[in-house]
Amino acid sequence: MSWRSTADVVIVGGGCMGASVAYHLTKQGITDVILLEREEALGTGATGRNAGGVRHQFSHESNVRLSLESIAVLERFEEEVGHPIDLFQDGYLFLLSSPANVAKFRGNMEMQRRLGVDVHWLTPDEAQERAPGIDPEGVLGATFCGRDGICDPSGVTLGFAGAARRAGARIREGVAVTGVRTSSGRVTAVETSHGPIETPLVVNAAGPWAADVGRMAGVALPIEPLRRHIFVAEPPSADGWRQDGVPTAPDSRVMVIDFETTFYFHREGAGLLFGMGDPDEPYGYDQEVDWDVLEKVAPVAARRLPVLADAPIAHAWAGLYEMTPDAMPILGPAGELDGFHVIGGFSGHGFQHAPAAGRVVAALVAGADPGMDLSPFAYARFGSGALAGEGNVV
């Protein structure tokens, strides 16, 4: 495949965000696009290391709007994009154990319902019916949305990328970006391990590495990488997740989140995937599994889902969140540099917003109406002090 040294738009990063932008640029009629991924395959960075959750249950109205659009796209993905994906809408169940969070989630529910989200308040007993096997001790209430669920990040990424390629976009894997050239306050080229590409427009979709790409362009992005662990447990007996015929874990793929601790779990094939935030984790790019983290997660996990006390761990991996100070992404132009756009900083909820966020950024690059208020996602908010962030970070 011949090397192209010019493009109308260069996208840095071949995860779900970069692939979505490429696809939506072609829908805008912009097909002279080059998508660069430094790894040998798309979606092998942060995209390939997440739990695949998709939900409407956010505390910030703008994030709910992104979810409404994105999940609707995922529901018709094969028809619209031309690629099959695994989408299981068995719901998200948030367990709440403090009066303060009960009040916050009741307020969130009012906003979510106003926007058309079918979300329900459950008693502790009703929550246990939705997620057999949990211990509801201390739970004061729960929220549940049945259109939330689990989806395949790889399928979504490859679907967007394949459709973009068919429309004329060029995808280059194994190509690292090493610099961004600028002149007179605007982007002029991207330097890569295979040579320069002259372009007036760059989209920084590098996920946890977005700040590094920003520095290449002289733009300071408040995005920090934060390691998060995921563990997968095997059934503890030949009866699977049952004991004497009684479920010890849900049969469905419902995502259960103990909001106070951030412990979460869902079924993953025959196993059970779970994780939890570590407040002692420093920012950094380390993606090696630290088994000491399991020692912190295990007692919390066993308290809320007792069967995990006896379930062997089949495997584990670690990936990176891309954190901003307000846990909200940056979408669109960044800094004083013309032609430099960002789609990043989703703080752990990026994959599920890729369809809508990619469309929005593609519209901005094309000079079209993005169709929603983007001020909560504007880079300029960090200089104004107006940070009304996302509270439902898991």
Residue 53 φ then ψ, to 5°: -75, 145
CA angle centred on 365, ends 363 and 369, rounded to 5°:
35
Per DSSP, 282 falls in state P
Phi first, then psi: what are they for 204, rounded to 5°?
Answer: -90, 100
Residue 191 burial (10 A CB sphere; 0-12, 13-18, 19+): middle
Show the tokens assigned to 118. 């079918």
Round to whole Å and give the CA distance between 306 and 308: 5
Are 47 and 353 contacting, i.e. CB atoms less than 8 angstroms apart? no
pLDDT in tens, the chain (394 residues): 566 799 999 999 999 999 999 999 999 999 999 999 999 999 888 777 888 999 999 999 999 999 999 999 999 999 999 999 999 999 999 999 999 999 999 999 999 999 999 999 999 999 999 999 999 999 999 999 999 999 999 999 999 999 999 999 999 999 999 999 999 999 999 999 999 999 999 999 999 999 999 999 999 999 999 999 999 999 999 999 999 999 999 999 999 999 999 999 999 999 999 999 999 999 999 999 999 999 999 999 999 999 999 999 999 999 999 999 999 999 999 989 999 999 999 999 889 999 999 999 999 999 999 999 999 999 999 987 767 799 999 8
Name the pTM for this structure. 0.96
Specify the DSSP element, H or E, that contains 321: strand 313-323
What confidence score (pLDDT) does residue 3 get? Answer: 66
Identify whether the C-beta of residue 309 lies closer than 8 Å to the C-beta of residue 317.
no
| Residue spans of alpha helices (H) in the chain | 16-27, 61-75, 77-81, 99-114, 124-130, 153-166, 210-216, 292-304, 354-366, 381-384
CA 144 – CA 121 distance, rounded (Å): 7
Ramachandran angles phi, psi of 332, nearest 5°: 110, -160
Residue 269, Cβ density class (10 Å: 0-12 exposed, 13-18 middle, ≥19 buried):
exposed
Supply the CATH classification number for the domain 9-52+153-223+327-384. Answer: 3.50.50.60
Q: Are 358 and 344 in contact (CB under 8 A)?
A: no
Domain ranges in the chain? 9-52+153-223+327-384, 92-145+225-323
Structure tokens at 353: 């917003």
Note the CATH number of domain 92-145+225-323: 3.30.9.10
Can you tell me the distance from the alpha carbon of 308 to that of 249, in angstroms, rounded to the nearest whole number? 9
